[in-house]
Amino acid sequence: MKNTVLLFLILIMNACQSQKVFENYDLSYSKSGGRAPSYENLLIKNNTVSYFFEGLGKKYSDKTSLSDEEMQVLYRTIEQNNLGQIREDHKKLYDHMTTTIKVKKDNIKKNDGSGIFPQDHQRWNGVVNAFEHLIISKNLRK
C-alpha cells in the first residue's frame, strides 16, 4: 500500500513539473482552435525554443536553440510593429483559429481571437510572420 501511494505521489509531482515549461518563458506564440481543433505552442526562454503541436491526428514536440541574432530580429520585429499598441476587436468569431503572442518582460499579451482592427492588421501580420518564419526556418513543423 505504501508503495502504491509513493508511486502515485511521484506521478503527480512529475505531471506538475512537465507544466513548468508552459509558465517559464520570455516569448510565446500559440495557435489554437478551428473546426478541427489543433494546438501549436512555441515557447522561448533565453535562447532555447520549445515547440509543441497536437492536432490533425498528430502529436509531437521539439526543442532547438536560437542565435543571439535570431533573438534580436524577433525582439526588433516586435518593437518595430509596436505589438503593445495593436488593438484587438471585440466581435464574436466562431470556429476561428486564434493566434496569441505574449512578451513576458513587457507584460504584453495580444490575440486575434476576436479579430484585429483593420488599421493594425499589417503590424499584427508582421509580428505573426516573424514567429512563423522562425518555425519554418528551424523546421519545427513536421
What is the pLDDT averaged over residues 59-65? 95
Q: Tell me the torsion sign for CA atoms 75, 52, 41, 20.
A: negative
CATH of domain 24-137: 3.30.1560.10
More confident: 5 or 132: 132
pTM summary value: 0.82
**Which of 75, 61, 55, 74 lies closest to 21 in space, CA to CA?**
61
pLDDT the model gives residue 40:
96
The answer to whether 109 touches 86, Cβ cutoff 8 Å, is: no
Residue 47 has pLDDT above 60, yes or no: yes
pLDDT the model gives residue 111:
94
Residue 67 has pLDDT above 80, yes or no: yes
Residue 2 has pLDDT above 70, yes or no: no
